[in-house]
Structure 1
Amino acid sequence: MSAHGTDGVRRPVIAIAGLAIETSTFTPTRTLAPAFHPDRGDEVVARHPFLAAYEHAAEFRGALTGHALPGGVVARPAYEELADEVVARLREIGPVDGLWYDVHGAMVVEGLDDAETDLLARIRAVVGPDTIVSASMDLHGNVTRELAHQLDLVTCYRTAPHEDVDATRERAVRNLVDVLTTRPVEHRRPVKAWVPIPVLLPGEQTSTRVEPAASLYAQVAEVEAADGVLDAALWVGYAWADQPRDRAVTVVTGWDTDAVVAGAERLARAFWDAREDFAFVAPTGTFDECITAALEPGAARPFFVSDSGDNPTAGGSGDMTWGLTQVLAQPAFAAPDGPTLIYASVPGPAAVAEAVAAGVGATVTVTAGAEVDDVHAGPITMTGRVHAVRHGDRDAGTEVVLQVGSVFAVLTTLRKPYHHEHDFTDLDLAPREADVVVVKIGYLEPELFDMAADWMLALTPGGVDQDLLRLGHHRIERPLFPYDREFATPPDLSARIVPPSDEPLGATP
């Protein structure tokens, strides 16, 4: 089961596997297997340069990992196809000492409420009960008691926006390598304290840039630093899936039961006590209010507006035309010499193909959007000048910029998030010089945040509507804040000790 290094020392073998997507059950799209852009075998290892720092201590073998852009529910045949390949590749790898489980935590599959646990059960059936499994997750994931049981080690991001993705993955691997190389076989599974917290909030109200989340996540490191604690993790949960597992959770692992329990309960109480203090990360308003503010004399430039309801990186379809329709209806942008506004983006394969055929500088009339998500607005028809064309983007395929009046609308073959300055400059756009930049996003990602002289969060409709009550959840476990403001009895925030993965879970306490 172990490999020999050049020095003759036996090294543990660690496999890498996982499927990751953040899934909105309120988005009408379906996610298919190619969307995960799977890496296989050596590709998996090569994707994570930090693994080189641990190659002296362990041998890493990639099975299959896939990371899809957030979106709609994963079609069951797509999941079965990928899960079967994960299992087959793990069989080919053979016996392993450990497994790094690289997942998000909010994947929804047709017919499965807890897909991460289902996939791990299939993996466990191959790698066996003795394999130590360490998971890295997004803090917007969901951790059921069943998932905590199947895992031995688990950690999640500590920043939102997520600026510690690689650091979190490395922490999961480092913990796994340390356990496999420093602890006797019979003492490799730490104590796991799990506390569900009856709170469900959108990420835009729980950003670690602002309070109270900034202070809450500062406590995670403090808990982890306690003697006898290996790792501490706090999940906000994922708000746009209508499932019983949706809620905040904390899991603390370590070797001292008292310290682990105390840490988990401290984080859970702190989160619960702060529930009324969470607020949006930026000033909010209706779309019209945000555009009006952006056009006020003296408003800082560039002024960014988040069209949050159709944010593709939170699970929105990215296909809605509602926001662009509202922009083009504004008289201020009707003439080419009006305030410059960039809008990113709306998919429209046929529109893109027509613009490409016409060429840069040509005037075209095209129709785009709402091919799958037409709940709030139908396809939009525009006449404008082709400003730019770009081929070969990993997410978008081909991108086109159409100038309509003073609006520069980005159209794509496939949906794409716009998070980086080069996403715009590659299209011959100058976001820093624009008056207004409207992006389908929630909180601004770091590069956009740095570019924005000012910004507002528009509370727009869509599959990731920030107004959770307006969405209409039916399957969440109640009582749950903010759906319920009054609780008949205080929530049970005591730590549940989850049995090791090689022992039966037993009934829910």
Structure 2
Amino acid sequence: MPQPCPVVAIAGLGIESSTFSPARTEAPAFHPLRGQDVLSRYPFLAPGEPLREAADWRGALVGKALPGGTVTAAAYAELSTELIDRLRDLGPLDGLWFDIHGAMTVEGLDDAEAELLTRIREAIGPDTLVSTSMDLHGNVSRPLVHHSDLITCYRMAPHEDAMETRERAARNLVDLLAGGAPRPVKAWVPVPVLLAGEQTSTRIEPARSVYAAVAEVAAADGVTDAAVWVGYAWADEPRNRAAVVVTGPDEAAVAAGAERLARGFWDARHDFAFVAPTGTLDDCLDEALAAGARRPYFISDTGDNPTAGGAGDVTWGLQHVLARPEFKDPAGPVVVYASLPGPSAVDAAVRAGVGAMVTVTAGAEVDDRHAGPLTMTGVVHSVRHGDRDAETEAVLRVGSVHVILTRLRKPYHLERDFTELELDPRAADVVIVKIGYLEPELFAMAADWKMALTPGGVDQDLVRLGHRRIQRPMFPFDPAMSDPDLTARIVAPANRPPAQFA
């Protein structure tokens, strides 16, 4: 008789939370999916796909929020309680795919994902196999590894392999359940390095080679999977640092692989550099406007990047742009600025209508530490309703600058984010985006680009942010530190008592 399919649940909460931002994240920001709607997040689990047929997939609750501020205790309690209740209601489980980011900070907690998985284990039992998938900018503590049987993360930054990683995590779990093999051995190595994602992009060296080695280790005999986490630089918690985990049936192989990857990351620490040239915002604008500059010239307004955890409403960068004399005349260089939240400003633009001249005030409702609310007078260029993140967007042309205003903050990563607002970024002289490294479509559009080192909750100057709770010594905070112990720690399986956590 054919064997019944294993019963596998899907659950997880994902967000990057900057503890250096005054913003707070509430439950609705996670846009949670429940029950079988969860499966719609994953193309490889669509009806008829081989992986869909390999297990009885049961959605519990999966919520993913834009990066932002610390999650409130009330939001975490609401979502985590519902998630665990739904898992209990699913009945006995053979497996759980735990789909998270890994950099969620919650009020009153230092290791939110490990705490959540500990509570999940209490509900589903220690014998259920758990496969955890993460962003490479997540944090991997020993408790998180202990409660996971398999654990992996992206191998590319920007994260062009995000869905591929999730599929690998799900497939490895199904394969483990189908094969009836013992629980994998897990080799974990914490690496005392904490760098920004913009310094560790796999587009360039040394991260390109560091991450190329991950696939080599994963392909070795006795290894199931391998992963290197950069860690999340804009939170101040004891768990924040780089880490390596290698899993598989052969203890010697996984330990050797983990130590190889950890040593490769550590040895490259002095070579990590920003993925693009950097400068002050004025330096970047001067270069963009210089004779012979290639257009469109993209500038990353990095300090308030909403996809790294910035509040999104810092006005410092836009104030500097609008103060430039080159942009006062509507016939001046065409500039697109994305973006600035301002609910009342958007409402005023909508009421006035396209073509109307309006005076509005926006920004600094959440993060006013660097500049106050900004008042602008301009012509309403376009209005768009119904965006999943922004809800409503309005473009205000102030001089020659097209300012995108949003009801709620939104990242601008795709060409259609602009064209749907009747903007043509390819024809602009300068495109300024609140972002770090350029996402693939922006990178492809940019004739040239530079990163402006601007203030905000995700300031790229990590040392001046003021970390106080990370484990020291830590590079680059302690540049002359001695070499750390990069010996692989073999972490106990979830159905055995853990060793002392570190």
1:234-281 per-residue CA deviation (whole Å, 9 max, x = no partner) reads 000000000111100000001111110100000000000000000000
Distance 2:296 2:446 in 1: 6
| 1:106 and 2:99 are equivalent in the alignment | no
| Correspondence for 2:405 | 411
| 2:75 alignment counterpart | 78
Query: Which residue in 2 is equivalent to 1:475?
Result: 469
Alignment of 1:82-161 (within 5 A): 82-161=79-158
> Is 1:493 matched up with 2:490?
no
Task: Measure the CA separation in 2 of the matches of 1:141 and 1:349.
Answer: 31
Are 2:63 and 1:69 aligned? no
Q: How does 1:310-459 map to 2 (within 5 A)?
A: 310-459=304-453
SS at match of 2:332: coil
Q: 199, 209, 217: which one pairs with 2:211?
A: 217
1:390-427 Cα shifts (integer Å, max 9, x gaps): 00000001000000000000000000000000000000
Residues 100-151 of structure 1 deviation map (CA, whole Å, 9 limit, x = unaligned): 0000000000000100011111111111111000011000000001110010
Q: Secondary structure at the match of 1:320?
A: coil
Q: CA deviation at 1:470?
A: 1.1
Tell me if structure 1 keeps the 8 A contact 2:359–2:375: yes
Structural mapping, 1:168-179, within 5 Å: 168-179=165-176
- Partner of 1:11, secondary structure, is coil
1:443-469 deviation line (CA, Å, top 9, x unaligned): 000000000000000000000000001
What residue is the counterpart of 1:166 in the other structure?
A: 163
- Structure 2 residue identity aligned to 1:125: E
CA distance in 2, matches of 1:485, 1:405: 46
Amino acid at match of 1:132: L
Query: Equivalent residue for 1:292?
Result: 286
- The more displaced of 117-126 and 106-115 is 117-126
- Calculate the TM-score normalised by the size of structure 1: 0.97
Q: Is the 8 A contact 2:194 2:474 kept in 1?
A: yes
Q: Which residue of 1 aligns with 2:478?
A: 484
- Would you say 1:505 and 2:498 are equivalent positions? yes
Name the aligned partner's letter for residue 39 of structure 1: L
Find the counterpart in structure 1 of residue 242 from structure 2.
Answer: 248
CA deviation after TM superposition for structure 1 residue 9, in Å: 3.0
Paired residue secondary structure (2:454): coil
TM-aligned CA deviation for residue 486 of structure 1? 1.2
CA displacement at 1:56 relative to structure 2: 2.6
The one-letter code matched in structure 1 to 2:28 is P
Amino acid at match of 2:494: S
SS at match of 2:265: helix
CA RMSD of aligned residues (A): 0.8
Aligned amino acid, residue 74 of structure 1: V
Q: Tell me how many residue pairs correspond in the alignment.
A: 499
Matches within 5 A, 1:48-59: 48-51=42-45, 52-59=49-56
* In structure 2, distance between residues paired with 1:40 and 1:346: 32
Mark the runs of 5 or more structure 2 residues left unpaired by the alignment: none
Aligned-pair CA distance for 1:507: 1.6
Q: Which amino acid in structure 2 is aligned with residue 218 of structure 1? A: A
**1:409 is aligned with what amino acid?**
V
Conserved 8 A contact 2:13-2:62? yes
Return the letter of the residue paired with 1:81. E
TM-score by structure 2 length? 0.99
Contact 2:491–2:499 (CA under 8 A) maintained in structure 1: no
Cα distance in 1, alignment partners of residues 329 and 137 from structure 2: 42
SS at match of 1:121: helix
Amino acid at match of 2:275: V
Q: Secondary structure at the match of 1:55?
A: helix
Deviation sequence 1:346-383 (CA, Å, 0-9, x none): 00000000010000000000000000100000000000
State the alpha-carbon separation in 2 of the partners of residues 10 and 310 from structure 1.
50
- Secondary structure of 2:370 counterpart: coil
The aligned counterpart of 2:16 is 22
- For 2:88 and 2:206, the matched residues in 1 are separated by 46
Q: Aligned to 2:274, what secondary structure does the other structure show?
A: coil
Read off the aligned partner of 2:366 and give its amino acid letter: V
1:118 is aligned with what amino acid? E
Output the amino acid matched with 2:286. T
Cα pair distance change 1:449/1:167, threshold 3 Å: same
Q: C-alpha distance in 2, partners of 1:390/1:431?
A: 17
SS in 1 for 2:6: strand
Q: 2:266 aligns with which of 268, 272, 278?
A: 272
For residues 473 and 57 of structure 1, what CA distance do their matches in structure 2 show?
Answer: 46
Which residue does 1:230 correspond to in 2?
A: 224
**Alpha-carbon offset, residue 490 of structure 1:** 2.1
**Match of 1:154, as an amino acid?**
I
State the identity %: 69
> 1:293, 1:416 → 2: CA distance?
27
Q: Distance in 1 between matches of 2:501 and 2:238?
A: 14
Whichever residue aligns with residue 490 of structure 2, its letter is I
- Aligned partners of 1:281, 1:87: CA distance in 2, in Å? 40
Give 1:8 deviation, angstroms.
Answer: 4.6
> Does the alignment pair 1:183 with 2:176?
no
Structure 1 unaligned residues grouped into runs of 5+: 1-6
Q: Distance in 2 between matches of 1:162 and 1:408?
A: 29
Q: Which amino acid aligns with 2:56?
A: E
1:232 Cα shift? 0.3
